[in-house]
Structure 1
Amino acid sequence: MSPTPQAPLGEELRIAVGDETVTARVLGAGRPIVLVHSLLADRTSFEPLATLLAATHRVFMLDLPGFGGSHPVTGGLEAVADRTADAIRGLRLEQSPILLGNGYGGFVALLTAIRHPAIAARLVLADCGAAFSEPGRQAFRNMSAAAAAKGLAAISGVAMRRLFAPAFQDAHPELIEQRRARFVAVHPETFHAACEALASLDLRAQARGVHLPALVLVGEQDEATPPEMARELAELLPQARFVLLPGCAHVPQLQAPQQFLAAIADFIGR
């Protein structure tokens, strides 16, 4: 069953990072967990999961730079990771959080852990990897070029296909249109910069030095970051476990939040 999107309870945060701002939504109480969203699906893709997590955790849904009210940043994915680390520090948490990233947010979470080893206690990396194949890199170049020529609306169909399998789209047209509207609202410069970063990214060597406990998950139907990418990442990380999520695609926390929570529950604790 797909989730019914709804705004979770909680409050909006504006986290000062120097002269810049990172926005987030926070809800729940308990062990802190920071959620970092995909490029094609903003922080609202975490709302069903965040509502469930709030029963046991203090949940922070970050807006990555250039999304929501978070100021954009220049300097590639490294700068995005540094801004993410600064935002987590700005939360002034009493204990290191679990850092959970999906898609683009998974790459950001991994690079944040590489560049700031003490920023998180554990990593949950969903539907990402350490590097794309050449066809995967070219897909980002193609999307960026098409969006530059015709606008994000022109590639919204491609974006939805990368988020959800066709059968799921057919069964949940209202959810797909909601996600399409969120995608089209992404700032074009943020989208192009992210595509450029992902088309050249290679974290395979650096991933071997990340000694945090990690859970690597991927939807079996994920076309954007196929399961073999996640398997490779799990093999590279010294303390990682791999989980394949049957019936899911690129945003399993939105498509099947209960299934996703069941897969991570033991790892994230209470």
Structure 2
Amino acid sequence: MTSTTLNHRTEGPGSAAPLLLGPSLGTSLALWDQVAPELSLTHRVIRWDLPGHGGSPASLIGAGATVGDLARLVLGLADSLGVDRFAYAGVSLGGAVGLHLAAHHPERVSSLAVLCSSAHFNGASAWRERAELVRREGLSGLAESADARWFTPGFSVPRLVRDHREADPEGYAACCDALAAFDLRAELPSIAAPTLLVAGREDPATPPAHLREIADAVPGAALVEIPGASHLAVAERPGAVLTALRNHFDGGAKRGMEVRREVLGDAHVDRAQARQTPFTARFQDFISRYAWGEIWTDTTLSRRERSMVTLTALVAHGHYEELAMHVRAARRNGLTPDEIGAVLLQTAVYCGVPAANSAFATAQRVLAEEDGQGG
């Protein structure tokens, strides 16, 4: 029996906020291989294949298909997975699907990123000619020029070129029909979802001007240009694309930095940020997103309780430099010196007297400093 649902892959925690990732014409969900695993740390990532591409049957659409038809398939996939509202990112044709969803189904799209795409694809004639060519001759010849159309000179992703060559000609041609008919320029001002546009600075297919046109029309939209990237920037410059998408989608990182400052103080966080290097940048981002953006923002425990747990864990592992920092944090979270002392006395029983002895010495020094500063 022929499937009626787009082929897809789901990654990340089932309880996390859903994020759908749409592909470009001629590629499969493998387009996102270098980005999706990282995004799945904080999202329920759902990648999907276009009809006739990857594992999606070509029969899902036919000649004369529209981007609206593809959008309905994406909504059907979301419904089948129990996903009502989702963030969305898409490349090229996948980005056009995202624009259509945000304009016509605003209640479903919480946030939108459109990569190397356009609100129109330079008219219908070239796409109709390509559809006719593919229906007549197949995809092997067109796949030979994929690298030149997708990447800067000398760069290639063989897996994606292979997916292009192996796509179903009818499915590919129907997607060309959709691109030929697509023009959403008049509807861009109606898009209310927070929107990010990502352009490959060396993209000849959808140059930065196309993304700038969208950014100028969608209220509050932001535009990021990726240097050294052509049409498939997500495969050619995955690190830069990942940073842009995280900054757009991951509200936890922003909230995490706020909580980190509230608990540890601006002076400490400013010093940590000043010491950040390209080598440590991902670790600092991890701390803000995970430790502070997910754990410390969980309201199951109060900040006072989290401080007591943290003090105990640091004593148990002998992390006395970190302990000093978290004694200050505990005071900021409302613990009195007597309560801190009671926590450390508890550690003497369960973590050992020598560990508690060192902990008391560290805490006494920090509390004396705080007292001397009028804390």
State the secondary structure of the residue aligned to 1:248.
coil
Deviation at residue 138 of structure 1 after TM alignment: 4.1
Per the alignment, residue 81 of structure 1 pairs with 71
Contact preservation (8 Å) 1:88, 1:119 = no
| CA deviation map 1:138-161 (0-9, x unaligned) | 442343333233320111123322
Deviation at 1:35, TM superposition (A): 0.4
Greater radius of gyration (CA): 2
Residue 227 of structure 1 corresponds to 208
Structure-2 residue corresponding to 1:154: 141
Matches within 5 A, 1:1-270: 20-29=4-13, 30-71=16-57, 72-74=60-62, 75-93=65-83, 96-134=85-123, 137-169=124-156, 175=157, 177-269=158-250, 270=252
Relative to structure 1, the CA distance from residue 103 to residue 261 in structure 2 (aligned partners, 3 Å threshold; closer, same or farther) is same
Amino acid aligned to 1:96: R
Structure 2: 5+ residue stretches without partners:
253-375
Aligned length: 244
Change (3 A) 1:158 1:144: farther
Distance in structure 1 (CA, Å) of the matches to 2:231 and 2:117: 9
1:192 CA drift (Å): 0.9
**Are the counterparts in 2 of residues 109 and 125 from structure 1 also a CA contact under 8 Å?**
yes
Deviations 1:236-266 (Å, cap 9, x if unpaired)?
1113111111111111111121111112212
Q: Take 1:88 and 1:66, find their aligned partners in 2: how far apart are those partners?
A: 19
Q: Is the 8 A contact 1:143 1:155 kept in 2?
A: no
Q: Aligned with 2:6: secondary structure? A: strand
Provide the rounded CA distance (Å) in 2 between the counterparts of 1:267 and 1:68: 28
Percent of counterpart pairs with the same letter? 30
Q: Residue 211 of structure 1: SS of its match in structure 2?
A: coil
Q: Which has the higher strand share?
A: 1
In the superposition, the TM-score normalised over structure 1's length comes to 0.84
In 2, Cα distance between equivalents of 1:264 and 1:63:
20
RMSD of the TM alignment (CA)?
2.0
Instruction: Read off the aligned partner of 1:263 and give its amino acid letter.
Output: A
Secondary structure at 2:163's aligned position in 1?
A: helix
CA distance in 2, matches of 1:240, 1:76: 25
Deviation, 1:235, is 1.1
More helix by share: 2
- State how far apart, in whole Å, the 1-side matches of 2:27 and 2:56 are: 15
Distance 1:47 1:57 in 2: 15
Distance 1:179 1:69 in 2: 14
Distance (whole Å) between structure 2 residues aligned to residue 159 and residue 139 of structure 1: 16
**Structure 1 residue runs without a partner (length 5+):** 1-15, 170-174
1:168 Cα deviation after fit: 2.1
Counterpart code for 1:73 = I
Question: How far is 1:25 from its partner?
Answer: 0.6
Distance 1:226 1:142 in 2: 21
Cα distance in 1 between the residues matched to 2:117 and 2:142: 21
Code of the aligned partner of 2:79: R
Mean Cα displacement is larger for which, 150-159 or 104-113?
150-159
Contact 1:220 1:226 in 2 (8 A): yes
C-alpha deviations, 1:143-202, integer Å up to 9, x for none? Answer: 333323332011112332221122324xxxxx3x32221101111111111112212311
Between 1:66-75 and 1:49-58, the stretch displaced more is 66-75
CA distance in 1, matches of 2:50, 2:154: 30
Residue in 2 that maps onto 1:172: none
Deviations, residues 88-112 of structure 1 (Å, cap 9, x unaligned): 122213x722101111100111112
Query: How many angstroms apart in 2 are the aligned matches of 1:180 and 1:66?
Result: 15
User: Which amino acid in 1 is paired with 2:147?
Assistant: M
Report SS of the residue matched to 2:212: helix
